[in-house]
Amino acid sequence: MNNTVTKPELLAPAGSLECVRTALYFGADAVYVGGPLLQLRAGSAGFTFEELAQAISLAHAAGKKLYVTVNCFANNEEIALLGDYARRLHAIGADAVIVSDLGAVAEIRAQCPALEIHVSTQANTVNYRSVGVWAALGAKRVVLGREMTLAEIEALKGRIPPETEIEVFVHGAMCMAYSGRCLLSSFLTNRSGNRGECAQPCRWNYYLMEEKRQNMFIPVTEEDGATAILSSADLKCISFLDRLAAAGVASFKIEGRMKSPYYVATVVNAYRQFIDGKATLEACETELECASHRPYTTGFYFGEAKLTPNNDGLYRRTCDFTGMVLAETGENEYLVEMRNRFAVGDTLEILSPASMGLRFSVTRIIGADGVPKEEAVLVQEKVRICCPHPLAPGDLLRKRLQ
């Protein structure tokens, strides 16, 4: 990026404390998580108050921030819960809440005015007038709708309150519905995407059936394979971050609160290295291929979106996550928690904020019982391996698939 432009915040997702630690270690400036109320993801991604307090402590100890999503559309009964919830979040040190519902914004602002409010992308904010209204209601930041073009974002500059921050998504899954407002999951599975229960039926494979030819299913195909015709491609904006920054964007947001620590590490590291000028665009583009993803797109930023380019609904990646470094146990020897099978003779690659792309050959694996073994096969078993490159706790190991 152009060093004359102030670096926007790099905002990472986390669905677990492990992901919080990973995001912070790999260079996120802030992390967003869900709490126990209205957090718009499956319950497994929602933190308890105790976990939120731990996550906030981790972030603040690193000089970073932590935001809590409160971005479901609230019903009558839930509005009454928001005052106490906001006060508890403020008391444990949450830096902001991310909210989509107009009533929820008003209630939080009235009941806990000291708690910073960021307006979620689910609020569908796509013009300067709406940004101004949110600012008047007390919002510090607005996450713009993903349907906006770069030109439209540039047009906001100078037409919104100067103290109001703008945040945009730069990487991750996109929804085929307008800013995530979708009833497909509710219709097919009785699980509402607007209540954090989306079954992602847009990513299923579908057939075409003519109403007078019952049970005659015609596959919908692109080229030679079946297609998930409703499945969006994944957003990737690393090549034009400088233009987004110049347009006034204050925060680059990565999607993925349901993603693994390996995904978070890979994506955050690639964006951090590129933003800081420590790696080339080509190297970082290659890095982003290592994590599981659907075909990449630039979304709506340059006009009409092509969200399903040859999209078969399948995910692809160039690497398998094989282990997490826990500690140094001797000269060139490290304790590793295994995540996918690897063996003596395999070439592993190091994923670290201190380096990019370093590789080494596994020459020895020592099990927890102190006995050498040919391969690590039990998920999360702890083994010792030798590595000629310096490793640090939090570094990850992976194996190339091709």
Asked if 222 and 355 sit in the same domain, the reply is no
CATH number assigned to the domain comprising residue 114: 3.20.20.380
In whole angstroms, what is the distance from residue 189 CA to residue 197 CA? Answer: 10
pLDDT the model gives residue 263: 97
In one-letter notation, the amino acid at residue 311 is N
Side-chain-side CA neighbours of 226 within 13 Å: the count stands at: 12
Sign of the dihedral defined by the CA atoms of residues 175, 180, 182, 188, in that order: positive
Q: What is the DSSP string of 170-206?
A: EEEE--SSGGG---HHHHHHS--GGGT----GGGS--
Side-chain-side CA neighbours of 237 within 13 Å: the count stands at: 28
Asked if 133 and 221 sit in the same domain, the reply is no
Sign of the dihedral defined by the CA atoms of residues 386, 388, 394, 396, in that order: negative
pLDDT the model gives residue 209: 75
Number of domains in the chain: 3
Q: What is the DSSP letter of 209?
A: -
In whole angstroms, what is the distance from residue 387 CA to residue 350 CA? Answer: 10
**303 belongs to a structural domain:** no
Asked if 264 and 217 sit in the same domain, the reply is no
pLDDT the model gives residue 55: 98
**56 belongs to a structural domain:** yes
Q: Are 105 and 117 in contact (CB under 8 A)?
A: yes
Asked if 48 and 143 sit in the same domain, the reply is yes
- Find the farthest-apart pair of alpha carbons in the chain and give their distance in angstroms, rounded: 73
pLDDT the model gives residue 218: 64
Distance of CA 77 to the CA centre of its chain: 30
Give me 157's structure tokens.
Answer: 């500059």
Q: What is the DSSP string of 322-380?
A: EEEEEEEEETTEEEEEESS-EETT-EEEEEETTEEEEEEE---EE-TTS-EESEE-STT
Domain that includes residue 221, residue range:
182-226
Strands of 333-338's sheet in order across: 355-361, 347-352, 396-400, 319-330, 333-338, 382-386, 365-366, 372-373
CATH number assigned to the domain comprising residue 347: 2.40.30.10
Asked if 250 and 331 sit in the same domain, the reply is no
pTM for the full predicted model: 0.89
Closest CA to 353 of 289, 226, 255, 267: 267
Q: What is the DSSP string of 266-297?
A: HHHHHHHHHHTTSS-HHHHHHHHTSS-B--EE
Asked if 161 and 87 sit in the same domain, the reply is yes
DSSP H/E element including 81: helix 76-91
Closest CA to 189 of 179, 208, 203: 203
In whole angstroms, what is the distance from residue 304 CA to residue 311 CA? Answer: 17
Asked if 207 and 67 sit in the same domain, the reply is no
Asked if 59 and 195 sit in the same domain, the reply is no
**385 belongs to a structural domain:** yes
**145 belongs to a structural domain:** yes
Asked if 54 and 119 sit in the same domain, the reply is yes
Mean pLDDT by 10 residues, the chain (402 residues): 70 97 98 88 78 98 97 90 97 97 96 98 94 97 94 94 97 78 73 71 73 73 57 90 97 95 98 97 97 91 68 81 97 96 97 95 96 95 97 97 80
**306 belongs to a structural domain:** no
Asked if 138 and 221 sit in the same domain, the reply is no
Pairing between β-strand 333-338 and β-strand 375-376 as defined by DSSP bridges = unpaired
- How distant, in Å, are the alpha carbons of 129, 287, 356, 374 from that of 397? 47, 13, 12, 17
**143 belongs to a structural domain:** yes
